[in-house]
């Protein structure tokens, strides 16, 4: 048993996959929302977020898409905007032993809210 495993012995691998994905998504949201972004920096910001979050425990992949249409709609004299939850479409896949979870952040228009949710889990 790995030393940290004793701290997760009270939950299943499925629960841990969800937990690790949720922790990663929360860290991502609260660390990067507010970051200055424009059409010149959007691709590098997506990659930076993916790279930073991929080092979290159990994370097997991170996909970040920042809505470029929103960036184009928001123009101002400063040539940038602050990243918001409405702009993000993120998928975090975690694997813990034999279980996998896909945690999603996506703006849901009917809720008018950037929702974090478990999209799939086995």
Q: Which of 1-10, 38-47, 66-75 has the lowest mean pLDDT?
A: 1-10
Residue 84's pLDDT is what?
96
Residue 1's pLDDT is what?
53
Q: Which has more confidence, 80 or 76? A: 80
Fold of 3-121: 3.30.1300
- Taking residues 26-31, report their average pLDDT: 96
Q: Which of 22-31, 70-79, 93-102 has the lowest mean pLDDT?
A: 70-79
CA nearest to 36, candidates 69, 84, 90: 84
- Judge contact between 71 and 79, C-beta under 8 A: no
Domain ranges across the chain: 3-121
C-alpha pair distances (Å), 42 with each of 38, 61, 67, 82, 118:
6, 19, 9, 11, 26
Residue 111's pLDDT is what?
97
Q: Which has more confidence, 77 or 48? A: 48
What integer best gives the mean pLDDT of the chain? 94
Backbone φ, ψ for residue 94 (5° rounding): -120, 150
- Judge contact between 118 and 18, C-beta under 8 A: yes
Over residues 77-118, the pLDDT tens digits come to: 888 899 999 999 999 999 999 999 999 999 999 999 999 999
């Amino acid at each position: 048993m790995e030393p940290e495993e004793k701290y997760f012995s009270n939950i299943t691998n499925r629960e841990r996959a969800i937990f690790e994905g949720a922790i990663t998504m929360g860290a991502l949201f609260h660390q990067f929302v507010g970051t200055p972004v424009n059409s010149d920096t959007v691709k590098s910001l997506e990659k930076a977020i993916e790279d930073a979050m991929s080092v979290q425990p159990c994370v097997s992949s991170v996909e970040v898409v920042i809505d470029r249409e929103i960036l184009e709609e928001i123009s101002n004299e400063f040539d940038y905007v602050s990243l918001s939850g409405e702009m993000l479409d993120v998928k975090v896949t975690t694997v813990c032993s034999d279980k996998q979870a896909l945690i999603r952040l996506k703006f849901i228009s009917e809720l008018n809210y950037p929702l974090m949710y478990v999209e799939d889990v086995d």
